[in-house]
Structure 1
Amino acid sequence: MRKSSHIIPYFLLCSSLLCFYSARAESFIGVNYGIVADNLPPPEATAKLLQSTSIEKVRLYGTDPGIIKALANTGIGIVIGAANGDIPALASDPEFAGNWVGSNVVAHYPASKIIVVTVGNEVMLSTDQNLVSQLLPAMQNVQNALNAASLGGKIKVSTVHAMAVLSQSDPPSSGAFNPKNGDTMKALLEFHKANGSPFMINPYPFFAYQGDSRPETLSFCLFQPNPGRVDSGTGIKYMNMFDAQVDAVHSALKAMGFKDTEIVVAETGWPYKGDSNELGTSMDNAKAYNGNLINHLRSMVGTPLMPGKSVDTYIFALYDENLKPGPGSERAFGLFKPDLSMTYDVGLSKSTQSPAPSPDIPAPLAAPPAPITVTPAPTTPVVPLIPAPTIPTAPIIPVTPMNPTPRPAAGIRSIAISCRPPRSLVLILVMILAFTLEEVLED
């Protein structure tokens, strides 16, 4: 007869393994938490909201102590940022860097789980060459200050780039950094390699669609069924713009000799409304992009050049920021409203357990797919006003390359196919193993 005293420990083991599996499964989903608004809920309410979701990481654009303290003891990873205006002092004065780290990191860690310090935002695109040249010394001084506080191996130092740091991205395999910043970029990449820190980038398929508003481009950007686009350099067929943009960055890193540098998507998202000349801004498209992106990340298929691993991705944004300047879309990226209700459901809530759009397989091609075009985000795209696009039935036509320019700081099912076993299967397999061991022990 089976000894029941052995069963309880095995059930605990199974439960622990399942919890670990579940936690790991969502560790790559983050969100941007901007505060350029006058109607946001208190940080404590936001912390509770985040705990009710599967969001594991939050990126802040500054070092608001109220927010950092509110996130203490939640287990949520926090990215904090030093502003572009702080870079000259951080670069020239190690004591200033030490005080900055002491006030904004040491004072909160480890209760507040700070994981990355970003120094500046899209600095490499600045017209101020002095600022560009000061970026690396500022990062080095912050790193030295973290090392002095015995946090160098626990908290990484990075900076955030726009896609326009690439001078070439079409096709993805030809990805290359702008040669005018070649020496500075190489030095930055040496810093990342030496410290094991990530290269952080802001890919926005939404802005690529603004530059090429054909219906087939919309489906390609939204992870919806489409004929796909072939990289002429590798023969790889891409099924969505997000993978193509991330792989273009990977190719650029590889071309510089840093193919093992980790890539983190610091921002990506889709606005649910915008000005009349901003094509593709709708609730359905925002829900499709973010929902299918989350589904794609959860599938763990990775990208064609980096298979089997989802990059850490921070979705823009947690809330709308009603005081941000620029076109209407800049104030309409929020996943949640100030009253903490969802703007639309993309399957992040733990309580509702609403799934992201389920995987689907693209239909067979009727004709060879067109070459791929991957475009960095434009600052203020100017495109003609045309009727909202619909998914085409005709074969895809050639893509006109789009000029790279920087961006300042209802859905058809996703084509991603999950390679990860269901949680229930994992539990069953572990339980079978446990009871098999039980039999062996009894014999």
Structure 2
Amino acid sequence: MDLLLSRRVNSAMMNAILFLFGIILSFAQLQFTEAQIGACYGRDGNNLPPQQQVINLYKSKGITRMRIYDPDEATLQALKGSNIELILGVPSDKIQSLTDSKTATNWVNTNVKPYSPSVKFRYITVGNEIEPSDPLSKNVVTAMQNIQKAINSANLQNQIKVSTAIKTDLVTNPYPPNKGVFSDPALPYIKPIVNFLVQNGAPLLVNVYPYFSYVGNQKSISLEYALFTQKGKNDAGYQNLFDAILDSVYAALEKVNAPNLKIVVSESGWPSQGGVGASDQNAGTYYKNLINHVKGGTIKRPKGPIETYLFAMFDEDLKKGAETEKHFGLFRPDKSPKYQITFN
């Protein structure tokens, strides 16, 4: 009788332990799923809050990842001890100089090494949306290689990956997505980059903007398809434009022998004013649906989540180009939210 009771007690304890372990595992998976959202912090404005206040805003909103476009010292200082993971950009005007290995080493020793591990660097992106026709394009891979060597010398290669961020218009024939292929002018630029990323286990950073695709082709692309609100699937099996764009890039990568290369969505956003389809309602809908959607995957890559960086933290009144460029902010310069969004 005592033996039977003991077995029952042991069985009950084991079930309780397994139940508790299941809760912990589920919580860990939930945390992993919901920790993929970051926000891009641009500073192209004359009315933005100080950097420390910006870092405090990230923390208060549970935004655990950040992208910046240059090694701003005040931002890096404010990030110390914050546990915010960082994409650090090499500005375009520095790329040519980094083809010199000593200059690249000095860049890492100045802008990365003194801040690590207090600042949690995740990626260094050499350039942003460099066009294949830009004379700088021939320097990108060499600069990436030199930054990588400097990262290795600093013994940070297991923590920091080196990459670059591209526009999706490097892909031609994007629909249906399986037909996606890098254009002939883009191939000499992108293939060496892809080879470098595969060799170093780094992802390709891609800026994905359904907004611009919608504005450029309103006859074929509905607003609902761009905002994740379309009810049914189209003839290619897609229910939203974001997935279709992303899968067209995956298809193009497959055609340059990189079927397993990971993509990080390094920018995605929607403007609140200044152009066609730009409104608070549309932008709020896009951001909310995007945050929820990237917890999963795409048709070609169903295993999510998709690491995604929202563009951008603030409206930036000094941005050049179309008027919409000034109105991508999640927050106003006074730090008040434009939309009621839960980030993570």
What is the TM-score of this pair, normalised by structure 1? 0.71
1:122 aligns to 2:111 (yes or no): no
1:82 aligned partner: 90
Q: Contact conserved, 1:26 with 1:54, CA < 8 A, in 2?
A: no
- 2:53 pairs with 45, 56, 68, which one? 45
Unpaired stretches in structure 1, ≥5 consecutive residues: 232-236, 351-443
The answer to whether the Cα contact below 8 Å between 2:230 and 2:240 also exists between their aligned partners in 1 is no
* Matched residue, 2:326: 331
Give the CA deviation at 1:55.
2.1
User: CA 1:303–1:18 in 2, change beyond 3 Å: closer, same or farther?
Assistant: closer
CA distance in 1, matches of 2:320, 2:239: 33
CA–CA distance in structure 1, aligned partners of residues 301 and 30 of structure 2: 22
Deviation readout 1:93-137 (Å, 9 max, x if unpaired):
1110001001111011111001100001112x15333x1111111
Structure 1 Cα separation of the partners of residues 230 and 23 of structure 2:
37
SS at match of 2:294: helix
Structure-to-structure mapping, 1:277-292, within 5 angstroms: 278-292=275-289
Q: Is residue 121–residue 160 contact of structure 1 (8 Å, CA) maintained in 2?
A: yes
1:238 correspondence with 2:247: no
Q: Provide, for residues 253-303 of structure 1, a one-character-per-residue CA deviation record: whole Å limited to 9, x for no partner.
A: 0011101000011111000111xxx210111100111111111123x2x10
Structure 2 unaligned runs (5+)? none
Quote the Cα distance in structure 1 between the aligned partners of 2:243 and 2:142: 32
Aligned positions of 1:46-85 closer than 5 A: 46-85=54-93
**Alpha-carbon separation, structure 2, partners of 1:41 and 1:12:** 44
The residue type paired with residue 184 of structure 2 is P
Contact 1:90 1:97 in 2 (8 A): yes
**Pairs within 5 Å for 1:151-166:** 151-166=156-171
Give runs of aligned pairs for residues 92-103 of structure 1, distance below 5 A: 93-103=100-110
1:26–1:55 CA contact under 8 A, matched in 2: no
- CA distance, structure 2, for counterparts of residue 15 and residue 339 of structure 1: 40
Q: CA deviation at 1:60?
A: 0.3
Q: Structure 2 counterpart of 1:241, which letter?
A: L
User: Is the CA contact 1:216–1:226 (under 8 Å) kept in the aligned structure 2?
Assistant: no
Q: Quick one: distance in 2 between partners of 1:55 and 1:12?
A: 28
Letter in 1 for 2:69: Y
Paired amino acid for 1:71: L
**CA distances 1:339-372 after superposition (whole Å, capped 9, x unpaired):** 2221111222x7xxxxxxxxxxxxxxxxxxxxxx
Residues in 1 aligned to 2:77 and 2:29: alpha-carbon distance in whole angstroms: 28
Cα displacement (A) at 1:310:
2.2
Deviations 1:64-99 (A, max 9, x none): 1111221221211100011111111101x1110001
Report if aligned partners of 1:175, 1:248 keep a CA contact under 8 Å in 2. yes
In the comparison of the two structures, how many residue pairs are matched? 333
Q: Distance in 1 between matches of 2:165 and 2:172?
A: 17
Identity between Structure 1 and Structure 2 (%): 36
Shift of 1:24: 1.2
Matched residue of 2:190: which SS?
helix
Whether the 8 Å CA contact 2:214–2:221 is kept in 1: the answer is: no
C-alpha spacing 1:215/1:198, structure 2 compared with 1 (3 Å)? closer
The aligned amino acid for 1:336 is F
Task: Name the SS for the 2:97 alignment partner.
Answer: helix
2:290 matched residue in structure 1: 293
Maintained 8 Å contact 1:90/1:96: yes
Question: Is this contact kept in 2: 1:228–1:238, CA < 8 A?
Answer: yes
Matched, 1:259 2:259: yes
1:109 aligns with 2:106: no
**Is the 8 Å Cα contact of residues 330 and 338 (structure 2) preserved in structure 1?**
yes
**How far has the Cα of 1:13 moved from its partner?**
6.6
2:179 aligns with 174
Identify the residue that residue 44 of structure 2 maps to in structure 1: 36
Task: Name the structure with the higher helix share.
Answer: 2
2:172–2:183 CA contact under 8 A, matched in 1:
yes
Task: Verify the 8 A CA contact 1:26 1:56 in the aligned structure 2.
Answer: no
Q: Which residue of 2 aligns with 1:369?
A: none
Q: Which of the residues 135, 149, 152 maps onto 2:154?
A: 149
Letter paired with 2:151: L
Shift of 1:22: 4.0
Q: TM-score, normalised by structure 2?
A: 0.91
Whole-Å Cα distance in 2 between the matches of residues 146 and 241 of structure 1?
A: 37
Separation of aligned partners in 1, 2:185 and 2:124:
26
RMSD of equivalent CA atoms: 2.2
Q: How far, CA to CA, are the matches of 1:96 and 1:71 in structure 2?
A: 25
Mapped to 2, the partners of 1:281 and 1:180 lie a distance apart of: 32
Q: Give me the whole-angstrom Cα distance separating, in 2, the residues matched to 1:41 and 1:98.
A: 32
